[in-house]
Amino acid sequence: MSGAKRTLEKMWEEGERKRQELLDVPESIALSHELIGELKAQLKASDEQITSLKQQIKESNSLQSKLKDYILGGLIGAVLGGALTSLL
């Protein structure tokens, strides 16, 4: 009888373990749902940042921006050239 009793106890323990695993499943799903929500938020923030950076690149490559750079560089070059000419 003790062998049958041990077998029944093992079956009962196995049943309890399986019930507990089934109870843990909704908790795992909820945790996964939260993580997916966090990942979506991070992905949206990254997408917005990429869009902003693309706009900045577009603006910095515009003709107006390039003209400012060329004029400023020309003025600095003229001043340095004049200063070096007067020193020599």
Model pTM score: 0.51
Q: What would the two tokens of residue 65 be?
A: 């921006």
Number of domains in the chain: 1
Average pLDDT (19-42) is 82
Task: Tell me the residue range of the domain where 33 lies.
Answer: 2-87
Q: Give, as one character, the DSSP assignment of residue 66.
A: H
pLDDT above 70 for 87:
yes
Q: Is the pLDDT of residue 32 over 90?
A: no
Tokens 């049958």 found at: 4
What's the gap between Cα 23 and its chain centre?
Answer: 33
Terminus-to-terminus CA distance in the chain, angstroms? 114
Q: Please name the residue that has the structure tokens 């843990």.
A: 24
Query: Is-contact 65 59, C-beta < 8 A?
Result: yes
